[in-house]
């Protein structure tokens, strides 16, 4: 009897795992991993690592948790809630949202205690979007405004990407996180801009959003 119950439970878990929809985070992670083949640095095209059609893609940092502001930018109604421990991705086609997802914020020196596993069979997997630049990077990307308006480092307000300009830096790495006294293995793939036309910055001197001209 006990064996039958265990068998049924295993079957239910397997069915749930097989038929449950793949999250945007999991899809991007798997696609980047396949493209980069576990390299720490590579180049990907965003439209080649997504399984759906889109004409604009947006990525928002954890600081952009106001859904009304996000809806205004993407010109649509998002359904998922974001908090200070997550970032967000939104894809649109002809002005309509076709896919959105919430990504956990996981760094090598930080781990949200809500996600600490009691035991770990497989490594935890996450997707990291880079939302930071420094002056040297800004200069190297030929910023056309006054670079002295910014401090030594700056946050990216959000990404706005089209299929015609969707080449991104990518890579995958594995590291350990120490959380709640346990050692947690993390597999992480990451995306970052290749040019300033893919992002919107915030100028702290003028208090206005800035786009590369």
**Which stretches of the chain are DSSP H helices?**
2-19, 24-36, 67-74, 135-140
**In whole angstroms, what is the distance from residue 122 CA to residue 133 CA?**
33
* Distance from the Cα of residue 172 to its chain's centroid: 13
Burial of 4 (0-12, 13-18, 19+ CB in 10 A): exposed
Q: Which tens digits make up the pLDDT trace of 122-138?
A: 788 899 999 999 999 99
Task: Give the residue among 158, 151, 32 at the shortest CA–CA distance from 88.
Answer: 158
Domain ranges of the chain: 23-53+103-210
The whole-angstrom separation of Cα 129 and Cα 139 is 21
Element (H, E) at 169: strand 167-179
Average model confidence (pLDDT) for the chain?
85
Burial 169-208 (b: 16+ CB within 10 A, else e): ebbbeeeebeeeeeebebbbbbbbbeebebbbbbeeeeee
Q: What pLDDT, on the 0 to 100 scale, is given for residue 5?
A: 53
Q: What is the pTM of this model?
A: 0.85
Tell me what the mean pLDDT of segment 89-112 comes to: 86
More confident residue, 5 or 179: 179
Tokens encoding 57: 């893609």
The residues facing 92 across adjacent strands are 56, 97
Distances (CA, A) of 81 to 8, 21, 66, 141: 34, 18, 9, 33
Confidence at residue 6, expressed as pLDDT on a 0 to 100 scale: 53
Written as one string, the DSSP assignment of 78-129 is --S---TTEEEEEEEETTEEEEEEEEE--BTTB--GGG--SS-SS-EEEEEE
Q: What is the DSSP letter of 51?
A: S
Q: How far apart are CA 158 and CA 151, in angstroms?
A: 18
Q: In 3D, which of 23, 54, 38 has the Cα closest to residue 46?
A: 54
Band of residue 19 on the pLDDT scale cut at 50, 70, 90: very low
What digits encode the pLDDT tens for the residues 136-155? Answer: 999 999 999 999 999 998 99
């Amino acid at each position: 009897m006990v064996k039958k119950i265990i068998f049924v439970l295993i079957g239910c878990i397997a069915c749930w795992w097989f038929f449950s929809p793949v999250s945007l985070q999991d899809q991007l992670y798997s696609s980047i991993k396949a493209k980069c083949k576990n390299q720490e640095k590579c180049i990907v095209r965003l439209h080649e690592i997504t399984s759906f059609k889109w004409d604009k893609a947006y990525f928002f940092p954890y600081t952009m948790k106001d859904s009304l502001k996000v809806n205004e930018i993407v010109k649509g109604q998002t359904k998922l809630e974001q908090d200070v421990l997550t970032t967000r991705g939104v894809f649109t086609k002809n002005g309509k949202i076709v896919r959105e997802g919430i990504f956990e914020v996981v760094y090598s020196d930080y781990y949200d205690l809500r996600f600490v596993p009691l035991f770990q069979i497989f490594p935890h997997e996450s997707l990291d979007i880079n939302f930071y630049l420094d002056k040297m990077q800004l200069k190297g990307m030929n910023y056309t405004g006054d670079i002295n308006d910014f401090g030594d480092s700056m946050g990216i307000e959000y990404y706005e990407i089209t299929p015609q300009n969707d080449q991104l830096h990518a890579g995958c790495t594995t590291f350990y996180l120490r959380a709640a006294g346990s050692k947690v293995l993390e597999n992480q793939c990451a995306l970052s801009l290749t040019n300033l036309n893919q992002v919107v910055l915030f100028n702290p001197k003028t208090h206005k959003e800035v786009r590369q001209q």
